[in-house]
Chains A and B, each alone.
Chain A
Amino acid sequence: MFADLFAYFYQFADVFAFLVLSAAGLAVIFGMMGIINMAHGEFIMCGAYATTFAYHAGLPLPLAQACGVVAAGLIGIVLEATLIRPLYSRPLDSLLVTWGLGLIATQGTLIVLGSSMAGIGTPGGGFRLGGYGFSIYRMILFAAALCVLAFIYLLFKRTRFGIYARATMQNANMAQALGVRRNRIYALTFGIGAALAGLCGALYAPTMTLIPTMGATFIVEAFVTVVVGGANVLLGTAPAAVALAVTRTTLNGLYGQVFGQIGLLLAVVLIIRVLPEGFSGWLAKRAS
């Protein structure tokens, strides 16, 4: 009985971690900044590749993963300054630019680094409970997802940078008039979003096949989670991930992965139909 309960929780935690980690970077870039970042998957791929490189170069895994985060973050900052910044006044165009960048990134990686890359191997081993085997690393991913949620919340709610950032996103001119260096805020926020995407790649690198198009497996779940969360990502992402993870876990368990996948998508339609402002809109309304 306990083993079965734990097994369900484990499944839930696994899906939840996947949704949160893949959505975290997008929540900042798309949810807060309003940039439709079609290259989100490529930031994830970048994090995974950088991690794998660093690991094969001899770094221990956690350090290698830090490299992945930093690499994605730095690339994000550079891209923001060169290509994204002129587009803040026309967010829909960012869709085209980032889509183009995504194409360049995947194909460039393919040409330069080849069509596949040797993997790392999942660390941490496993444990057994009532006939089931569980991977410890998957539990680490769950913990990481919770940490990421807490990090985003604290960063944007409790730090000076976070307050500046939210002020800039709401009204950039006003914020600047009050002395906020808005370009620096934009660059840093975008960089943090990119770094979080890189973190997703870094964390999943040991569990996945490394190919240049690997980012594509994350992107639908990422967008769906962020949007269902609603306009206020600090409030919405966690409940959105919980709701979608429960849906998917249950359907996966009962009817298999196909219906888990289709069910997740239909749940999105249903949730948005019932809560047209997403979870955060609904929570805000209840609070007021």
Chain B
Amino acid sequence: MKRRSILTGAAALPLFSIVGRHSALGSDPIKIGLLEDISGDLAMMGLPKLHGSQLAVEEINGKGGVLGREIVLMHLDPQGDNARYQEFARRLLQRDKVDLLIGGITSASREAIRPIVDRSSVLYFYTNQYEGGVCDASMVSVGAVPEQQLSTLIPWMVERFGKRVYTVAADYNFGHLSAEWGRTILKPLNGEIVGEEFIPLGVSQFAQTIQNIQNAKPDWLYMLNVGAAQDSFFEQAAAAGLNLPMGSPIKIMLGFEHKRFPPPALNNMHAAANWFEELDTPAAVDFKKRWHAKFPNEPYINDMGYNAYVALYMFRMLAEGAKSIKRDEMRKVIDEGGACIDAPEGRICIDPKSQHTSHHMRLISVDAQHHVHIDKDFGVIQPYWLGQVGCDLTKRNDKEQYSPDHLPKAM
């Protein structure tokens, strides 16, 4: 039942009950602020994220907590509203004085709370895969970024299906930046963008887009559509008999469209993922067993939920390495370059220059029966782009989001 989440969220009552139970641990619990949308449009993604954090907290407390202290989650639900993100980030940081902040789904929500975090002395974990580029010493990014997802996926798609690409993107920052990445990666491959279309958020009807695609006759589709309404594309494209190969950095492992739509709507979809529920390494199987034991009704463990789980283990690693939960102390551990943990996907590390995370990337695809196959194992890929263009958080804190057309100014 979803009610479970209500228990751990509300601030005061569960806090006391947990303290009572784990009296063996240090007296003063470490407070972790969590902002995840479990109401509104984004609840589908926010709920697994909340669950991932809850599972990790339970496990870590079972293993003795962090620095011998118990950790408690203080979760608030911003309901997908950026203003609520601002209100609640302030509340958690200034009133509840949390020791760590985690959360945010859309890039807009991350940008809403980043100025507030920057003025505090708390470290912030953003646990989504996103368009990349945030160079901010207060933030650790746990999710995969374009150089990990796109510079693996796109060359593979070109090699397998051809050079003519049609981009269908959500008309907002993620869509525009990922489309830009696509163009950049395709150029040296002699790839050709035969069409590019941006769709306003919330649009659910795609007859025109489907027709434009049929006109352009691409070899494959580069899908950057976002949100539940835009996911209707797959159903409508299948009904019109479009049947083209598709590649995307956000489908399958994030939105589990292959579970939500009846086959064959997602047939021939490809993605590069650091986590997907079908991963069956021993560590992954063990992790899935623990998750489903705690949340038996979870429709799918998506990569966001997985990243949220991993984030808390990263925090533990940083805190124990630094013997402190202060941001500056923990950042020293990152600076030294040994900030690594053994996650269910494999061993991953935080890059000192950008404070983004390396990931073990795999290329996955969905067949006509909506079974997921692993087509290629890329191994561990570093988040190199920010460091390459000049972001170096070990030297200076830019507090900026960069993109291929907005690069750091030369020093």
Contact = CB atoms under 8 A, between A and B. Distances in A.
Does A touch B (CB under 8 Å) in the complex? yes
Contact of A114 (B229, B231, B299): B299
Interface string A251-262: 011001110110
Contacts of B197: 256-257
A257 B44 contact: no
Interface of B: 2-3, 39-41, 43-44, 47, 171, 197-200, 202-205, 207-211, 214-215, 228-229, 231-232, 235-236, 238-242, 259-263, 265, 297, 299
A214 B231 CA distance: 11
29 contacts: A7-B211, A10-B207, A10-B211, A11-B207, A11-B208, A14-B205, A14-B208, A18-B205, A114-B299, A119-B235, A119-B262, A119-B265, A121-B265, A122-B235, A122-B238, A122-B239, A125-B239, A125-B241, A126-B239, A126-B240, A132-B214, A135-B236, A135-B241, A209-B229, A211-B43, A211-B228, A214-B229, A216-B41, A260-B208
A217 interface: yes
Interface in A118-145: 118-122, 124-126, 128, 131-138
B303 to A, nearest CB: 16
Contacts of B208: 11, 14, 249, 252-253, 257, 260
Contacts of A122: 235-236, 238-239
Please provide the 7 A-B residue pairs with the shortest distance between their CB atoms, ordered closest to farther. A135-B239, A122-B239, A121-B262, A133-B241, A126-B241, A115-B44, A14-B207
Contacts of B236: 122, 135, 138, 207
Residue among A10, A11, A211 with most chain B CB within 10 A: A211
A22 to B, nearest CB: 10
A17 to B, nearest CB: 9
Nearest to A116: B44
B260 A119 contact: yes
Given A7-B211, A126-B241, A206-B235, A261 B265 contact: no
Contacts of A136: 239
Contacts of B241: 125-126, 128, 133, 135
Nearest to B229: A217
Nearest to A261: B200
Interface in A1-35: 7, 10-11, 14-15, 18
Residue among A107, A137, A208 with most chain B CB within 10 A: A208
A237 B205 CA distance: 20
Contact of A118 (B204, B214, B260): B260
A209 B227 CA distance: 9
B198 A257 contact: yes
A237 to B, nearest CB: 19
Contacts of A135: 207, 236, 239-241
Interface residues of A, number: 49
Nearest to A260: B208
B207 A110 contact: no
Contacts of A249: 208
A132 B211 contact: yes
Residue among B43, B202, B240 with most chain A CB within 10 A: B240
Contacts of B261: 118-119, 121, 209
A217 B204 contact: yes
B121 to A, nearest CB: 35
A107 B203 contact: no
B203 A209 contact: no
Interface in A75-112: 107, 110-111
Nearest to B300: A116
B79 to A, nearest CB: 9
B44 A211 contact: yes
Contacts of B47: 115
Interface of A: 7, 10-11, 14-15, 18, 107, 110-111, 114-122, 124-126, 128, 131-138, 206-214, 216-217, 249, 252-253, 256-258, 260-261
A131 B214 contact: yes
A106 to B, nearest CB: 8
B2 A208 contact: no
Given A120-B262, A138-B207, A257-B199, A114 B228 contact: no
Given A213-B41, A257-B171, A257-B208, 12 more contacts: A111-B2, A116-B44, A118-B260, A121-B265, A134-B240, A135-B239, A206-B235, A207-B232, A211-B44, A211-B228, A213-B40, A213-B228
A209 B204 CA distance: 9
Contacts of B207: 10-11, 14-15, 135, 138
Contact of A257 (B40, B209, B231, B235): B209
Given A115-B44, A134-B240, A213-B40, A208 B204 contact: yes
Contacts of B242: 133
Contacts of B265: 119, 121
Contacts of B40: 213
Given A133-B242, A138-B239, A258 B204 contact: no
Contacts of A18: 205
Contacts of B39: 107, 110
A111 to B, nearest CB: 6
Contacts of B41: 211, 213, 216
Given A10-B207, A211-B44, A256-B197, A116 B228 contact: yes
Contacts of A214: 204, 228-229
A110 B205 contact: no
Residue among B2, B208, B235 with most chain A CB within 10 A: B208
B315 to A, nearest CB: 27
Contacts of A206: 235
Contacts of A15: 205, 207
A253 to B, nearest CB: 6
Contact of B232 (A110, A208, A257): A208
A139 to B, nearest CB: 11
A136 B262 CA distance: 18
B36 to A, nearest CB: 12
A45 B238 CA distance: 23
Nearest to B256: A116
Contacts of A210: 260
A214 B43 CA distance: 13
A115 B43 contact: yes
